Structure 1
Amino acid sequence: MLTLAKNANALLMFLLELGVLAAVAYWGFTVSGNWGVKLLAGLGGPALFITAWALFGAGGGANATYPLTGLARAALEILWFGGGALALYASGLVTSAAIFSALFILNAVLRIVWNEV
């Protein structure tokens, strides 16, 4: 039963990672009335997030170019997932931002409790 819960939490983490990209893209495409700005922010924002995650956080650090551990990893996750929540908030989706934040906190606490960090 615990294995199932751990797998569900890993799935939640993956879905949250995808959620960050979707939130940043949504924010980018709604940030301005100018199509040039929309394209730059809507495509460039997620590209920057993908680059940061690939360099420092992919696969829990196992697949990252420069894997982070300890407090540096915690800071990366807070910035990454906080950025997704902030993008939702900035887009006017306050309830979605709160739910996203709560799910990230739940996921992080469970990973700490299960020593999966």
Structure 2
Amino acid sequence: MLAIAKGANAALMFVLELGVLASAGYWGFTLNAGWPLRLAAGIAAPALFIVVWALFGAGGGANATYPLTGLARAALEIVWFGGGALALLAAGRPAPAAVLAAVFVVNAVLRVIWKQV
């Protein structure tokens, strides 16, 4: 039963990662600007998040170019998922921002307890 819960928590982490990318894109596409800027921001924001994650956080660090561990990894995750929540907040969506942040905190605590980090 615990193995199923751990697997579900790992899958939730992946869904949260996708949620951050969607949040960044949503923020860009909802900017109060002309469509060329919205298009550029809607594509560039998630691309920036992807590059940072690929360099430092992919696969829990195992697939990252420069894997981070310990406090550096925790800081990366806080900035990454906090950035997704802030993007939603900046796009005028406070409730989804709060949900993203809260689910991340629960996921992170469970990953620490279950030694999934």
Classify the TM-score, shorter chain. over 0.9
2:77 maps to a residue whose letter is E
| Aligned equivalent of 2:72 | 72
For the aligned residues, what is the CA RMSD?
Answer: 0.6
Percent identity of paired positions between Structure 1 and Structure 2: 68
Q: TM-score, normalised by structure 1?
A: 0.98
Secondary structure of the residue aligned to 1:32 is: coil
Separation (CA, whole Å) in 2 of partners of 1:42 and 1:32 = 12
Deviations 1:7-66 (A, max 9, x none): 000010000000000000000000123112101110000000000000000000000000
1:22 maps to a residue whose letter is: A
Contiguous gaps of at least 5 residues in structure 1: none
TM-score w.r.t. length of structure 2: 0.98
Task: Tell me how far apart the structure 2 counterparts of residues 70 and 29 of structure 1 sit (CA, whole Å).
Answer: 35
Query: Residues 56-97 of structure 1, C-alpha deviation per residue, up to 9 Å, x if partnerless?
Result: 000000000000000100000000000000011111111101
d(CA) in 1 for partners of 2:17 and 2:116?
17
The 5 Å alignment of 1:94-109 reads 94-109=94-109
> Would you say how many aligned residue pairs link Structure 1 and Structure 2?
117
